[in-house]
Amino acid sequence: MGTMSTIERLPLTRQRIAEAALLLGDDEGLDKLSMRKVGASLGVEAMSLYNHVGNKDDLLDAVGDLLYSDVLSRYEQNPDADWKDNARALVFAFWDVAMEHPNVVAIILDRPIPSVTKMLFLQQCYEVFVSAGFPVNEAALAFNTVAGWMTGVVRSELTLMRALFEQGASFAKDDVPEEFHGVLDFMECCNAWTPVERVEAGFNTLLAGFEQELAAKGWK
């Protein structure tokens, strides 16, 4: 009689299913993710998954929960630190998770995740901006600004900036008309900065604007 594998011996849980789906999504992308493939990776029939996840949408929500939990595990609010340091730490916790999972990052960029985990994430965002001195209405606007910027910068780094890097390596000034030489210099400068340096610069610009607003309105 053959021995049962470790995976088969472990009971199915929503957590294990989400972890298996995340691994598959990382490898193949969300478009190719299916209940059948997740079940096969766990050594069970797809129907067994429905005791823990209702459908593929619910499966994606479970993966989103996992990703947000990862963000929270990387961030620890320091009550003694300047609010900007906590804000930066939270932004880079999100950024690191997004960059580690480019094939599934759309889950945390596009999908609302109605869960306690996301509420905990939003609570951390709320506490950062309120601790800065923003009234709650303005704290919401500040959060929306950062969230919109972060969504855009993640997409930019995974698409536009990668394309610029690849194209920049394929052009030489001798191959293009002189009027485009300035564009090639610009592309080279874009590629000279690392993704982390670009994110840091962008976020510092946002922080400077927030600080100016806090001071101008006497909230700080």
In the prediction, which pLDDT does 166 show?
Answer: 74
In the prediction, which pLDDT does 173 show?
Answer: 79
Enumerate the domain spans of the chain: 82-216
How far is Cα 42 from Cα 209, in angstroms, rounded to an integer?
Answer: 49
- Which one of 3.40.50.300, 1.10.357.10, 2.60.40.1180, 1.10.630.10 gives the CATH number of domain 82-216? 1.10.357.10
105: left (phi over 0), alpha (psi -120 to 50) or beta: alpha
In the prediction, which pLDDT does 7 show?
Answer: 44
Residue located via tokens 């993640």: 154
How far is Cα 151 from Cα 135, in angstroms, rounded to an integer?
Answer: 24
In the prediction, which pLDDT does 6 show?
Answer: 47
The token pair at 30 is 């969300």
CA atoms in the 13 A half-sphere facing the CB of 106:
9
In the prediction, which pLDDT does 112 show?
Answer: 78
How does DSSP classify residue 142? H
pLDDT, tens digit only, all 220 positions of the chain: 444 454 445 789 999 999 999 999 999 999 999 999 999 999 999 999 999 999 999 999 999 999 999 999 999 999 999 999 999 999 999 999 999 999 999 999 998 766 899 899 999 999 999 999 999 999 999 999 999 999 999 999 988 887 777 766 566 777 888 888 888 888 888 888 899 999 999 999 999 999 999 999 998 7
CA atoms in the 13 A half-sphere facing the CB of 16:
18
29: left (phi over 0), alpha (psi -120 to 50) or beta: left
Of 107, 105, 138, 162, the closest CA to residue 220 belongs to: 138
In the prediction, which pLDDT does 170 show?
Answer: 66
